[in-house]
């Protein structure tokens, strides 16, 4: 995604290996014991509601769809890529 490419080019926080997480990775931070938001506010205190986040996981519905995680209630589903949702970048690798 272009945003991750721009973040890597800028070297945010001194790193150049930021990427959009998979739907499986995003789903690991869903807290199904909570709602509104269904995520730990101790670790993610500034979450904005509604809290839909894109993943890098493509959908079988076609190239214009991808998987999303909605942290309002922990919903995982697919959505048209033209919709406005947030990105939460992750790192994997060394500096």
SS3 category, 12:
helix
Reported as a single tens digit per residue, the pLDDT across 7-17 is: 989 999 999 99
Residue 94 maps to a domain:
no
- What's the structural domain count of the chain? 1
* Helices and strands, number each (H, E), in the chain: 2, 5
Between CA 19 and CA 54 the distance in angstroms is: 11
Q: Are 57 and 22 contacting, i.e. CB atoms less than 8 angstroms apart?
A: yes
Asked if residue 37 is part of any domain, the answer here is yes
Q: Is position 1 within any domain?
A: no
Q: pLDDT digit string (tens) for 31-89?
A: 999 999 999 999 999 988 888 999 999 999 999 999 999 999 999 999 999 999 999 99
Q: Is residue 5 part of a domain?
A: no
Residues 6+ apart with CB under 8 A from 2: none
Query: How far apart (Å, rounded) are the C-alpha atoms in residues 15 and 91?
Result: 8
In a domain, residue 45? The reply is: yes
Query: Could you tell me the residue range of the domain that residue 79 belongs to?
Result: 22-87
């Amino acid at each position: 995604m272009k945003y991750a490419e721009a973040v890597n080019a800028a070297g945010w926080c001194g790193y150049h290996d930021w990427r959009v997480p998979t739907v499986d990775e995003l789903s690991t931070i869903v807290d199904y014991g909570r709602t509104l938001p269904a995520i730990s506010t101790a670790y993610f205190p500034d979450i904005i509601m509604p809290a839909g986040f894109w993943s890098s996981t493509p959908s079988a519905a076609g190239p214009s769809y991808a998987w999303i995680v909605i942290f309002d209630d922990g919903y995982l589903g697919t959505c048209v890529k033209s919709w406005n949702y947030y990105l939460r970048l992750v790192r994997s690798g060394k500096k």
